[in-house]
Amino acid sequence: MNFPILSSLILLPSIGALFLFFTKSNKKNNFTIKYVALFTSAVNFFLSIYLWILFDSSTSDFQFVEERIWIEDFINYKVGVDGISILFILLTTFITPLCIISVNNSIKERLSEFLIAVLIMESFMIGVFCSLDLVIFYLFFEAGLIPMFLIIGIWGGARRVYSAFKFFLYTLLGSVLMLIAIITIYWLKGTTDVVELYNSGIDIKYQNLLWLAFFSSFAVKTPMWPVHTWLPDAHVEAPTAGSVLLAAILLKMAGYGFIRFSLGLFPAASEIFTPLIYTLSVIAIIFTSFIALMQDDMKKLIAYSSVAHMGYVTLGIFTIQQQGIEGSIIQMISHGLVSAALFLCVGVIYDRMHSRLINTYGGIVSILPKYSILFMLFTLAALGLPGTSGFVGEFLILMGAFKDNFLVAVIASLGVIIGAAYMLWLYKRVVFGKLINTNLKQMFDLNRSELFILSCLAVPTLVFGFYPDPLINTIEVSISDLIDQYNLKLASKS
Amino acid sequence: MEISIIALPLIASIISGFFGKLIGDRNSEIITSLLVSISAIFSVLVLYEVIVNQYQENIIIAKWINSGSLEVNWSMKIDSLSAVMLVVVTSVSALVHIYSIGYMSHDPHKPRFMAYLSLFTFAMLMLVTADNFIQLFFGWEGVGLCSYFLIGFWFKKESANKAAIKAFVVNRVGDFGFALGIFLIFYLFGTVNYSEVFNQISNITDENLKFLGITFNAVDLICLLLFIGAMGKSAQILLHTWLPDAMEGPTPVSALIHAATMVTAGVFLVVRCSPIYEYSELALNVITVVGMSTAFFAATVALVQNDIKKIIAYSTCSQLGYMFFATGVGAYNVAMFHLFTHAFFKALLFLGSGSVIHAFKNEQNLNNMGGVWKKLPYTYSLMIIGTLALTGFPFLSGFYSKDAIIEFAYLRGNTTGYYAAGIGIFTAFLTSIYSWRLIFKTFHGEYNNKEIKIDETHESPIVMLIPLVLLSIGAIFAGFLFKELFIGYEGLNNFWQDSIFFLKPLSTDHPPLWFLLSTPTLVILSIPLAYYLFVKNKNLTEQIANINKPLYQFLLNKWYFDELYDVLFVKQSKKLGLFLWKFFDLKIIDGIGPDGISSIIKKFSLKANKFQSGYIYQYAFVMLLGFSALLTFLIVK
């Protein structure tokens, strides 16, 4: 394979962004601008599908590896994918074009700048998921914040500046520590190449501190309790497309990081800190579910539910069970689809009524029937109904957790009850009931692009609910190998 | 053919749900009814094969979740147990589909309604034909979802929406236990497929587990957890509160979901898992106690309710209690028999009451009815058949199944058994009283409705009566015809084969004659008694109620379960949510975290500002100070 497919995936969106950079954003050009962006991201999506087809799921080795020397003896540009990362790349390339279609209705000003931010972010995110060098990973990981920061800060709502800074402050805090950890690793081992580090391992006495440094960065981005309070604010102020990118892709970087680096590089420390992760995850699931119950702002409610869902993810990863980790990855993919769809659903009615408050609405089912059906589907997926992708992830995670620790699994399962309560209550208050607010009568049902986007998200949500085999097949070998390696390293060192 | 039993309702649902507008109301009604009826005919054929040729099959349709050692398939397991359930589900469903054509004739959303009914049928079939616990769970939640949709079908009614959410969330509480049971099974056996689990069960009967410092027997724990799920779905006491509220849904829904099929899923679960339950004496005793308490509790509440559907709902709750205590005393086949007969007469009663409600133009209060038996002759006589069957009047279907339950409870020979038998007889008496109260208050006495003139009430159309007639045939003959097959001594090992497992065979003794005669006697005696109390001498009833006011209020308010749960759970959850949000997140985390840090930095920078005053003499003074301090330091050193 000589064609550098991964580099193309990373670079293509940026090239599109470069085109947009030279086009002025005005009414006349907006059409062209959108189609350039859409075309670029669509090509990227098909390219990633091609990657998935070529991908060999029978091995856990890194594939499509490219290596170029950047700074002699220090940083190599090295990318490659295995079963763990490839699904995240697909998620990114799938969500981005949908986001670009959705800007139709929400972004009125500086369209080309907005799309540049989106495309650049796509580049960075793909970079995160396929970099095999710690420094490269760090660069992509942190750079990804900048477009998001701008999206919230420029196109956001009334309190956008506060939210943007809160977002930045939180995430920066963890990042600095991770950078120090990466430098330490280079200083210890003389390389930042992930594959080499996997093979040689890191001395047990340094692992705890290094693990904590990585953890501080990942915990903020996940977000785990108690460093989650930036997320509701960021979501509320971000424009719809921003929320979608944030929830669907940005939050997944940390989950991926936990699997790839925390488990892969620091098994001994992971073993020690598992109780910490369990505690925080369980608190996140229960606390934020209760908080979500009381929200009166739709976006905040979904944001809090995201924290709870990511609580399941972190819980599943540290069970170090096949079911737990596979469940976590499927949960992340599913959450990427479902939370994206839910934020888009909120966006749809926000564009029409300019209100995110639940009590503005009520009884819209007779005016927006198509919308109500799709919204119902995603509500059900969010509460983990069997037959949707949400169920597969959640159930596998809890199964894995039960094998490892009864108490944790029991408490985490309680979240399933509260989850049903807040999602159904939200849906009831928005969609069912009598139509009291007469202004709502001016609303119109989904237009063609909205219907298209939501259907695109509905299909995989259902398909992977009934037939998750394509997903599980892709990750199975990589994960069982990861667990074997993990246990091997633990055994050899203790 | 087997797969089409499941597939046809799904196809019907898709056609009616997505293309209902396109093909029109009438066509979607016909298509859904037709496809479900075909599915019912196939089910009968399958049951025939099972009875005659001992047909058994486990069809794998597709892979579902394969993760590590977990292997779950979409499958269709056909054995005696699932064949019986197939027939119950599809036949009642087909009749309800047909009935709905008449009942929903004034509703603007017919295709949606039919689609939900068919979808429900599909989910219920997935539930009963599963060969593993996870597909069972899929069907389990699927029927819960359809029940949610159908209870809240009239989405403009606030009470209907509330009832729908309540049903789903209370069921989720049960599902929480159920899911933990599945996790535990997977933990212990490494598989969730019935056959593999049941084969290994005898190896782990002595296994113990520690949880929160308490040691549990693994089998007991599995059984109790699964039973929590069954309690939720089958509305047993503590988790029953959703079922009476579920009557907000259209009446055909109550007949199909909340009487004949979905609510019996819990009983089905326990019977299906008989190979596990047989090893847990503790769980069986718990089930007996819960079942019997529910039977008694629901019957007492049904005595004083005034909503015709709520009475039947509590009656369902009570009859489910009977089924559970049958399983609790190990008589799984008798529980299945009662489930089978109950489906017919309870669906008949619900559809009959729907016919009454239809006649009174959506009136459900008993006090606004009366004296119409001549106006509604068919409905009246069919309801009488249903009532006779329900109360266990000799030689109708309820007689065979309910009395068998009480007998087997007696024959169990232990304390819970005797206790259950006693409560069972007394509850049978209560059942008879409240059922006849319903009949007499609805059809006899004076005409009490002020809004509709008696001449305006009318008999239901033929499309609604035909299903009633068919169900009444079942209500009359199902018991007599299937007795030998289901609970006969020879039929025991032949028909059920290995779908029901008995650790020690059921007793073949007969209880004493006085015991056998007591229930039918009470049941027959209660008819004139009820007539006297509710038609002849109504003042006496009122006096009794007045004398025992607190008791009457206690029963009328359904033992205050709803109020208690509201105070204990609903209000507390909301309070907790507000506290965690407003205090914990906003005050503590944000206050100390980002907002705190930024305000500290702000304060410092304000102070630092003051140093940069711009006056040269201040800078010179600070320099001088520093210089002298340095000098002092050097000299002293």
Burial degree of B462 (CB within 10 A; 0-12, 13-18, 19+): exposed
Compare CB distances from B176 to A322, A363, A417 and report the shortest one's residue: A417
What DSSP string describes B351-397?
HHHHHHHHHTTS--BGGG--S-TTTSHHHHHHHHHHHHHHHT-TTSH
Provide the pLDDT confidence category of residue A2 given band limits of 50, 70 and 90: low
Beta carbons within 10 angstroms of residue A452's beta carbon: 13
Cis peptide upstream of residue A223 (ω within 30 degrees of 0): yes
Determine, for residues B176 and A428 on separate chains, whether the beta-carbon distance falls below 8 Å: no
Compare CB distances from B187 to A386, A402, A480 and report the shortest one's residue: A402
Compare CB distances from A428 to B161, B183, B598 and report the shortest one's residue: B161
What would the pLDDT profile of B122-137 be if each residue is shown by its tens digit? 999 999 999 999 999 9
Chain A residue with CA closest to B140: the answer is A386
Q: For B41-57, b where at least 16 C-beta lie within 10 A, e where not — what string?
A: ebbeebbebbbeeebbe
- pLDDT computed for residue A191 by the predictor: 83
What would the pLDDT profile of A405-455 be if each residue is shown by its tens digit? 888 999 999 988 899 989 998 998 888 888 887 887 888 888 888 899 999
- The winner for highest mean pLDDT among B266-280, B362-376, B409-423 is B266-280
Among A458, A294, A291, A290, which Cα is nearest to A376's? A458
Compare CB distances from A386 to B142, B152, B580 and report the shortest one's residue: B142
Provide the pLDDT confidence category of residue A225 given band limits of 50, 70 and 90: confident
pLDDT at A129 over 70: yes
pLDDT at B212 over 80: no
Chain B residue with CA closest to A172: the answer is B594
Place of tokens 């479902």: A338
What would the pLDDT profile of A252-263 be if each residue is shown by its tens digit? 999 999 999 999
Q: B66 touching A, CB under 8 A? A: yes
- pLDDT computed for residue B489 by the predictor: 67
pLDDT at B492 over 60: no
Determine, for residues B180 and A402 on separate chains, whether the beta-carbon distance falls below 8 Å: yes
- pLDDT computed for residue B585 by the predictor: 77
Mean pLDDT of the residues in chain B: 86
Compare CB distances from A323 to B70, B152, B211 and report the shortest one's residue: B70
Q: Which domain holds residue A357?
A: 5-493
In angstroms, the CA B288 to CA A212 distance is 53
What would the pLDDT profile of A67-76 be if each residue is shown by its tens digit? 888 777 777 8
Decide: B511 and B417 in contact? Cβ < 8 Å. Answer: no
Bridge partners of B71, per DSSP, are: B66
Among B436, B175, B405, B371, which Cα is nearest to B288's? B405
What would the pLDDT profile of B171-184 be if each residue is shown by its tens digit? 999 999 999 999 99
Number of H helices, E strands in chain B: 28, 4
- pLDDT computed for residue A316 by the predictor: 93
Chain B 464-523, residues with CB within 8 Å of chain A CB atoms = none
Residues of A whose CB is below 8 A from B176 = 413-414, 416-417
Provide the pLDDT confidence category of residue A334 given band limits of 50, 70 and 90: very high
Place of tokens 């819990």: B266
Q: What percent of chain A has pLDDT over 90?
A: 34
Determine, for residues A407 and B580 on separate chains, whether the beta-carbon distance falls below 8 Å: no
Q: What is the DSSP letter of A320?
A: -
Among A230, A279, A280, A220, which Cα is nearest to A253's? A220
Q: What percent of chain A has pLDDT over 70?
A: 98
User: What is the average pLDDT across A48-56?
Assistant: 90
In angstroms, the CA A118 to CA A250 distance is 12
- pLDDT computed for residue A493 by the predictor: 63
- pLDDT computed for residue B69 by the predictor: 83
**How many CB contacts within 8 angstroms connect chain A with chain B?**
143
Decide: B387 and B343 in contact? Cβ < 8 Å. Answer: no
Residues of B whose CB is below 8 A from A322 = 67-69
User: What is the average pLDDT across B394-415?
Assistant: 85
What DSSP element (H or E) covers A177? helix A160-189
Chain A residue with CA closest to B168: the answer is A420
Q: B242 touching A, CB under 8 A? A: no
- pLDDT computed for residue A281 by the predictor: 93
What would the pLDDT profile of A348-401 be if each residue is shown by its tens digit? 888 888 888 888 888 888 888 888 899 999 999 999 899 899 999 999 999 999
pLDDT at A461 over 90: yes
In angstroms, the CA B356 to CA B354 distance is 5
Q: B115 touching A, CB under 8 A? A: no
Task: Find the angle CA(B170)-CA(B175)-CA(B180) to the nearest 5 degrees.
Answer: 140
Q: B250 touching A, CB under 8 A? A: no
* ipTM score of complex: 0.89
Asked which of A134-143, A282-291, B111-120, B594-603 is least confident by mean pLDDT, the reply is B594-603
Place of tokens 């479900």: B36
pLDDT at A489 over 60: yes
pLDDT at B472 over 50: yes
In angstroms, the CA A343 to CA A303 distance is 9
In angstroms, the CA A367 to CA A363 distance is 8
pLDDT at B541 over 80: no
User: What is the average pLDDT across B22-47?
Assistant: 91
Q: What percent of chain B has pLDDT over 70?
A: 99
Determine, for residues A468 and B65 on separate chains, whether the beta-carbon distance falls below 8 Å: yes
Q: In this structure, are strands B208-211 and B70-78 parallel, antiparallel, or unpaired?
A: unpaired
Compare CB distances from A417 to B62, B169, B187 and report the shortest one's residue: B169
Determine, for residues A380 and B145 on separate chains, whether the beta-carbon distance falls below 8 Å: yes
In angstroms, the CA B576 to CA A434 distance is 29
User: What is the average pLDDT across B229-236?
Assistant: 91
pLDDT at B230 over 60: yes
Mean pLDDT of the residues in chain A: 88
Chain A residue with CA closest to B175: the answer is A417
Chain B residue with CA closest to A391: the answer is B138
Q: B626 touching A, CB under 8 A? A: no
Q: Number of folded domains in chain A?
A: 1
Provide the pLDDT confidence category of residue B490 given band limits of 50, 70 and 90: low
pLDDT at A88 over 90: yes
User: Assign residue A126 a region: left if phi > 0, alpha if psi is -120 to 50, beta otherwise?
Assistant: alpha
Determine, for residues A386 and B581 on separate chains, whether the beta-carbon distance falls below 8 Å: no
pLDDT at A329 over 90: yes
In angstroms, the CA A289 to CA A311 distance is 10
Shortest Cα–Cα distance, A222 to chain B (Å): 17
Determine, for residues A403 and B187 on separate chains, whether the beta-carbon distance falls below 8 Å: yes
What would the pLDDT profile of B617-634 be if each residue is shown by its tens digit? 888 888 889 999 999 988
In angstroms, the CA B397 to CA B382 distance is 14
Determine, for residues B67 and A409 on separate chains, whether the beta-carbon distance falls below 8 Å: no
Chain centroid offset of residue B24 CA? 33
Cis peptide upstream of residue B108 (ω within 30 degrees of 0): no
Chain centroid offset of residue B2 CA? 26
Determine, for residues B70 and A294 on separate chains, whether the beta-carbon distance falls below 8 Å: no
Asked which of B9-18, B248-257, B583-592 is least confident by mean pLDDT, the reply is B583-592
Residue of A161, A163, A229 for testing the chain B interface, max B β-carbons within 10 Å: A229
Residue of B14, B109, B183, B228 for testing the chain A interface, max A β-carbons within 10 Å: B183
Determine, for residues B172 and A229 on separate chains, whether the beta-carbon distance falls below 8 Å: no
Among A372, A333, A167, which Cα is nearest to A248's? A333
Compare CB distances from B156 to A410, A418, A433 and report the shortest one's residue: A433
pLDDT at A494 over 50: no
- pLDDT computed for residue B617 by the predictor: 82
User: What is the average pLDDT across B280-294?
Assistant: 90
Structure tokens at B272: 């299906």
Shortest Cα–Cα distance, A156 to chain B (Å): 20
